[in-house]
């Protein structure tokens, strides 16, 4: 015997996680390692002189620092 239910089929609730502020997280991590100052200087130079995208500068700066083991 099949029981008819008035409830809708089960679906899990949507996740309520706040959006991740990736740049803030990266900044916090780098400040903890004392790296952020040089990257901020690189930002200023890059933005004022050539107007390049900050994201590219950030990625290059991080890769360079980690490759050097700082």
Question: Does 53 score more than 50 pLDDT?
Answer: no
Q: Which residues of 10-26 are buried (b: 16+ CB within 10 A; e: fewer)?
A: eeeeeeeeeeeeeeeee
Question: Does 61 score more than 70 pLDDT?
Answer: no
pTM > 0.85: yes or no? no
Instruction: Give the rounded distance of the alpha carbon of 4 from its chain centre.
Output: 48
pLDDT value of position 40:
53
pLDDT value of position 34:
59
Mind listing the pLDDT tens digit for each residue in 15-46? 666 666 667 777 777 666 655 555 555 554 44
């Amino acid at each position: 015997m099949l029981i008819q239910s008035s409830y809708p089929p089960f679906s899990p609730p949507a996740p309520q996680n706040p959006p991740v502020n990736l740049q803030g997280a990266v900044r916090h991590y780098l400040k903890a390692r004392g790296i952020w100052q040089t990257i901020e200087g690189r930002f200023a130079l890059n933005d004022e002189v050539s107007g390049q995208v900050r994201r590219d500068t950030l990625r290059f700066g991080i890769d360079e620092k980690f490759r050097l083991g700082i």
